[in-house]
Amino acid sequence: MEAPSDSGPCAYLLRCGDGTLYAGAAKDLAQRIATHQAGKGARYTRARLPVALAWYQACDDWSAALKREYQLKRLGKSAKEALVRAGLAG
């Protein structure tokens, strides 16, 4: 899955090199993924490169993106995998 080049605030899931899923929020998704890939993102992803976008959801504003990120981080692996399987509908 490719990050949209003109995304606004969003929540996302990255598939890490070890198969795990990482949840985050971004104001510019393409730039944030590039930061993760460069090893300058979250400590979790730095240790599990490479990463690839698995799922994202556009949000109305930064506050909504942070709230959605919080919800994603509280989900179990099976629920996160279900979002990935469902695609961008999350």
Average pLDDT score, the chain: 92
| Domain residue spans of the chain | 10-78
Phi/psi at 26 (nearest 5 deg)?
-145, 150
For the cut 80, the answer to whether the pLDDT of residue 3 exceeds it is no
The model carries a pTM of 0.90
Q: Tell me the sheet residues that pair with 23.
A: 13
- Superfamily of 10-78 according to CATH: GIY-YIG endonuclease (3.40.1440.10)
* Cα–Cα separations (whole angstroms), residue 49 to 10, 18, 88, 89: 22, 8, 23, 26
For the cut 70, the answer to whether the pLDDT of residue 90 exceeds it is no
